[in-house]
Amino acid sequence: MQRRDFIKASGLGLGALAIPAWGRAIAAEELVSKLDVGLKKRLADTAMTAAKGDGATYCDVRIGRYLRQFVITREDKVQNVVNTESTGVG
């Protein structure tokens, strides 16, 4: 293997490592889909019930969906496009 080939291969590998490990890879079509409203209501009800059960007089429930898109390029060419999704409740 020549030095140039090694640097190209290792550069792509390091680029892939730079993509965050959290979230899950999704297809582009899923970017426009929405979370189920019933699921969000059940999550919020569960959180509020738990907070009230612990004696809270106030509870604020937030549900977030985070979509990220990574475009990996090299020498003016797109090498890869990665879409990730993660959700959180707080």
pTM for this structure? 0.50
Residue 24: pLDDT band by 50, 70, 90 thresholds? low
Asked if residue 18 lies in contact with residue 54, where contact means CB atoms within 8 angstroms, the answer is no
Whole-angstrom distance, CA of residue 28 vs CA of residue 82: 9
More confident of the two residues 77 and 8: 77
3 state SS of 29: helix
Phi then psi for residue 29, to 5 deg, are -65, -30
Domain boundaries, the chain: 22-89
- Name the pairing type of β-strands 77-89 and 24-25: antiparallel
Averaged pLDDT for residues 2-9: 60
Taking only the tens place, the pLDDT of each residue in 48-75 is: 888 888 888 888 888 888 888 888 899 9
pLDDT at 35 over 70: yes
